[in-house]
Amino acid sequence: MSSKTVANSKTVANPDAAQRGLVTRFIGSRAVYHTIMIGFSIIFVVPMLWMVMSSFKTKREIFGSPFSLPKSLDFSVWTEAWERGNLGQYVLNSFFVTFVSVLAILVCSLFAAYAFSRFEFRFKNVLLGLFVLGLLLPVQSYLTAQSRLFDALYILDTRWALIIPYSGLGLALAVFLLKTYMDSLPKELFEAARMDGAGDMRILFSVVTPLMVPGIATVAIFSVLATWNEFLLSILYVVDDSLRTIPAGLLAFTGKYSTDYPTLFAALSIITIPMIAIYVVFHRQVIAGVTEGSVK
């Protein structure tokens, strides 16, 4: 009898040992995975915790002992940041721009994804490639042409100067994700709806949309985070302080020769914490929307 046959017979004769070996390897791989993920989490969490702690320190404490704990939790700095920085107006502006932009992204991308997924027409792949191209081109590549176009339309220094580009920037990823998710739906579902006499609009809103809630939630969250935190366009296209969004409004805390770091960190904490909370609450929908749409 060969040595290979003897080894196989020992494995069969002792299945408990083989099972324990598999469990040990599985636990080991999970431990390595969790260790790596914890390391990545620390890289992102520590700077945010440092920012929040620094908002309760004086400028001398920030530079003298940057990693020490604050002596007290005095939220009057946060109140001062809210009032002095006019954050209330900036929050309203950001909320309006974000709401309209995300709504436009969801509606337009849903229609476009349905057309790309269910219809066959000329230049379909070319048009889809243009949307994919939007994921590759940087914003800086078309700033000049876009600003001249907005100037000709007399919408510079208005909220529409932000809503239009935000909607266009978010469409590329939204169409790609929703089309991928829609492709994973069974064709029999659409055929059954057709046999029942449903039209495209009825199929889209009564059949497809309820099944795509995870994908729609993923697109909405990504769009909200991208629009809420956008900085470059908000300082280029809007000069009126009463129309500025939060990222541009935070420039009020930085001066030409000095910066009020405690108040700046307090303002950043006020703006950042709600966004993190939204992502933590809806992270399951984000994961479901990304993973379920990738598997047929």
Query: Is 283:127 a contact under the CB 8 Å cutoff?
Result: no
Token pair in block for residue 290:
């990304």
Give pairs for 53-60: CB < 8 Å, separation 24+: 54/261, 54/262, 54/265, 55/81, 55/262, 55/263, 55/265, 55/266, 55/268, 55/269, 56/262, 57/262, 58/262, 59/260, 59/261, 59/262
pLDDT on residue 9: 47
| Cα 85 to Cα 77: distance, rounded to the nearest angstrom | 11
Full pLDDT tens readout for the chain, 296 residues: 444 444 444 444 455 555 555 555 655 567 777 788 888 888 888 888 888 888 888 888 888 888 888 887 878 888 888 887 788 888 899 999 999 999 999 999 999 999 988 888 888 888 888 887 878 888 888 888 888 999 899 999 899 999 999 998 899 889 988 988 888 888 888 888 888 888 888 888 888 888 888 888 888 888 988 898 888 898 889 988 888 898 888 877 776 556 778 888 888 888 888 878 877 777 676 666 566 555 44
| Cα 134 to Cα 138: distance, rounded to the nearest angstrom | 8
Which sign does the torsion angle of CA 122, 126, 132, 138 carry? negative
pLDDT on residue 17: 56
In terms of phi and psi (left: phi > 0; alpha: psi -120 to 50; beta: otherwise), the region of 265 is alpha
Look up the CATH superfamily of 76-292.
Answer: MetI-like (1.10.3720.10)
Residue for token digits 């805390």?
Answer: 253
Query: Is 245:94 a contact under the CB 8 Å cutoff?
Result: yes
pLDDT on residue 6: 45
HSE (CB half, 13 Å, CA atoms) of 7? 3
Q: What is the pTM of this model?
A: 0.76
Cβ partners under 8 Å of residue 264, min gap 6: 81, 250, 253, 254
pLDDT on residue 296: 45
Dihedral of the CA atoms 269, 56, 52, 170 (nearest 10)? 20
Token pair in block for residue 166:
């935000």
